């Protein structure tokens, strides 16, 4: 049995919950969006301390269960909007300056085209709802692959490290055990291991950590089209747009993933098509609820059936979907955190991102809350003027805020999902249409109430 700490030996030192002048080692489980963001946030925190003439405080090691970052494809796209400032706060300046290299349509950003919120009637092709973004609005619809590559800068990742157990060797440390027999010891373990989080299972137990699947089914597609075939989509919005079917119900989203940069001679672009539908009897006149087909050709045929009566340009996109398109089923699930029914971890273990709160994508806020998780956690890890950091207090404060912030957000994302897949429910007052902010007044009121389990 070997021990791995990514080159940062602990030398048998006892750091304590109120860590002194010696370095505190952080074990990051998961090398996805939030895990890499945390690594970059700790890098920036150390650089900030050194710029103040203070010693760097943290070392870290990152462990990823897969054999490579893009072993399962790396995902499609994500939007950072109300958390954009927090993203800049986390990233080292040289990486923050490159965020907009990751956007799906760099020419639009260069031209100051931030887009709008557009929701089409898929039967007519005309907007059912369209709103301009608030003055001064800033956001970035990014290719997840390009963004992850940016976040991997100067971060070493230990691959094929599947977590099997977590133990506490003494009062001050935490140890990660991996299926290959390796171990890693630190002072804080952060689970950033996604929707199927092994860290969440350890903290909450098998039953309490299970996700809840919503009565909606989804297929995500990555396809490449000629710029000529995409012109009508570009005219609707330079970044993304949504749509719904008023006759049979269901939801559609289009997003540019990889438009050629300014000056390029490329004449094709990669785009994301997301199609979902209510999982209920009677949809498309089927007696039983419809699951996504298992095989590629069957999935394409199913999507073409869904879009048969849709108007241009969405109709053509799906009916002429290239054979080499990537189609993946997406489970629409949620998991809501609470501060009960969990194992006490004494400030040595916490979670961020989907591991900490899993919400649907129908408000585009899941990545934003993950960014805020990391920003809040890193800020709380900043040592005081005496050079010490009380890990137990920092984690307690982080989790209190995170739980109260993300519980109402998860509820809103659930309702947005259900509304978006039933055209008649897409109306004023629906969370699918309401403004995206970190907290609205209703959520602030909820935060004042005691947290209870759902």
175 is in which domain, residue-wise? 18-69+152-211+335-423+436-447
Residue 290 lies in a domain: yes
Query: In this structure, what CATH number is given to the domain that contains residue 248?
Result: 3.30.9
Tens of pLDDT, residue by residue over 338-389, are 888 788 888 999 999 999 999 999 999 999 999 999 999 999 999 987 667 7
User: What's residue 356's pLDDT?
Assistant: 98
Q: Final residue of a domain: which of 332, 348, 367?
A: 332
Q: What is the pLDDT of residue 71?
A: 76
pLDDT digit string, tens, across residues 236-292: 999 999 999 999 999 999 999 999 888 888 999 999 999 999 999 999 999 999 999
Give the confidence band of 442 by pLDDT, cuts at 50, 70, 90: very low
**Sheet of 212-226, strands arranged across:** 126-132, 116-121, 240-244, 251-258, 268-278, 212-226, 326-334
pLDDT tens column, 99-129: 989 999 988 888 888 888 999 999 999 999 9
Statement to judge: residues 276 and 328 lie in one domain = yes
250 and 234 part of one domain: yes
Angle value at C-alpha 87, between 81 and 88, nearest 5 degrees = 115
Note whether residue 360 is domain-resident.
Answer: yes
Which domain-ending residue is among 285, 300, 332? Answer: 332
List 274's β-bridge partners, or say none: 220, 253
Query: Which of residues 75 and 218 earns the better pLDDT score?
Result: 218
Residue 436 binned pLDDT confidence (cut-offs 50, 70, 90) = low
In terms of DSSP bridges, do strands 188-191 and 349-351 run parallel, antiparallel, or are they unpaired? parallel
Query: Could you report the per-residue pLDDT of 122-141, keeping only the tens digit for each?
Result: 999 999 999 887 666 677 88
237 and 183 belong to one structural domain: no
pLDDT-derived band at 19, boundaries 50, 70, 90: very low
Whether residue 266 is found in the same domain as residue 362: no
**113 inside domain:** no
In a domain, 102, yes or no: no
Domains in the chain, number = 2
- The answer to whether residue 57 sits within a structural domain is yes
The answer to whether the pTM exceeds 0.85 is: yes
Continuous H helices in 244-365? 296-306, 314-319
Q: Over 50: is that where the pLDDT of 307 sits?
A: yes
- Show which of 332, 358, 391 is a domain's final residue: 332
Mean pLDDT over each residue of the chain, to the nearest integer:
90
Tell me the C-alpha distance between 116 and 148, whole Å.
26
Domain with 404 in it: what CATH number? 3.50.50.60
């Amino acid at each position: 049995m070997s021990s791995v700490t990514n080159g940062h030996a602990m030398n048998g030192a006892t750091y304590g919950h109120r860590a002194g002048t010696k370095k505190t080692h952080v074990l990051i489980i998961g090398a996805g969006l939030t895990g890499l963001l945390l690594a970059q946030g700790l890098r920036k925190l150390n650089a900030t301390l050194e710029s103040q003439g203070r010693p760097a405080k943290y070392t870290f090691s990152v462990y990823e269960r897969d054999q490579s970052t893009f072993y399962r494809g790396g995902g499609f796209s994500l939007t950072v909007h109300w958390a954009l400032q927090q993203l800049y706060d986390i990233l080292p300046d040289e990486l923050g300056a490159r965020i907009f290299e990751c956007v799906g349509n760099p020419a639009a950003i260069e031209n100051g085209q931030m887009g709008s919120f557009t929701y089409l009637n898929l039967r007519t092709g005309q907007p059912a709802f369209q709103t301009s973004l608030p003055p001064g609005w800033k956001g970035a619809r990014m290719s997840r692959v390009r963004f992850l590559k940016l976040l991997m800068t100067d971060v070493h990742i230990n691959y094929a490290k599947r977590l099997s157990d977590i133990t506490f060797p003494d009062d001050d440390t935490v140890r990660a055990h991996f299926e290959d027999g390796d171990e890693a010891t630190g002072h804080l373990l952060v689970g950033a291991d996604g929707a199927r989080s092994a860290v969440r299972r350890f903290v909450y137990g098998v039953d309490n950590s299970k996700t809840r699947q919503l009565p909606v089914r989804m297929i995500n597609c990555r396809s490449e089209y000629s710029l000529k075939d995409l012109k009508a989509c570009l005219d609707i919005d330079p970044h993304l747009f949504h749509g719904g079917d008023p006759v049979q119900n269901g939801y559609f989203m289009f997003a540019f993933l990889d438009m050629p940069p300014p000056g390029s001679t490329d004449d094709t672009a990669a785009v994301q098509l997301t199609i979902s539908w209510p999982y209920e009897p009677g949809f498309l006149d089927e007696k039983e609820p419809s699951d996504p087909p298992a095989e590629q050709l069957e999935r394409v045929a199913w999507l073409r059936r869904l879009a048969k009566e849709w108007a241009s340009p969405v109709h053509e996109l799906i009916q002429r979907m290239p054979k080499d398109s990537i189609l993946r089923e997406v489970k629409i699930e949620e998991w809501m955190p609470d501060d009960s029914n969990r194992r006490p971890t004494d400030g040595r273990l916490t979670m961020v991102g989907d591991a900490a709160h899993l919400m649907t994508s129908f408000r585009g806020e899941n990545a934003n809350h993950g960014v805020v998780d990391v920003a809040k956690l890193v800020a709380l890890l900043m040592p005081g003027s005496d050079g010490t950091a009380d890990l137990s207090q920092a984690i307690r404060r982080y989790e209190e805020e995170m739980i109260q912030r993300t519980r109402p957000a998860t509820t809103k994302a659930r309702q947005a999902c259900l509304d978006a897949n039933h055209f008649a429910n897409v109306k004023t007052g629906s969370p699918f249409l309401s403004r995206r902010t970190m907290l609205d007044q209703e959520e602030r009121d909820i935060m004042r109430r005691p947290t209870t389990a759902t």
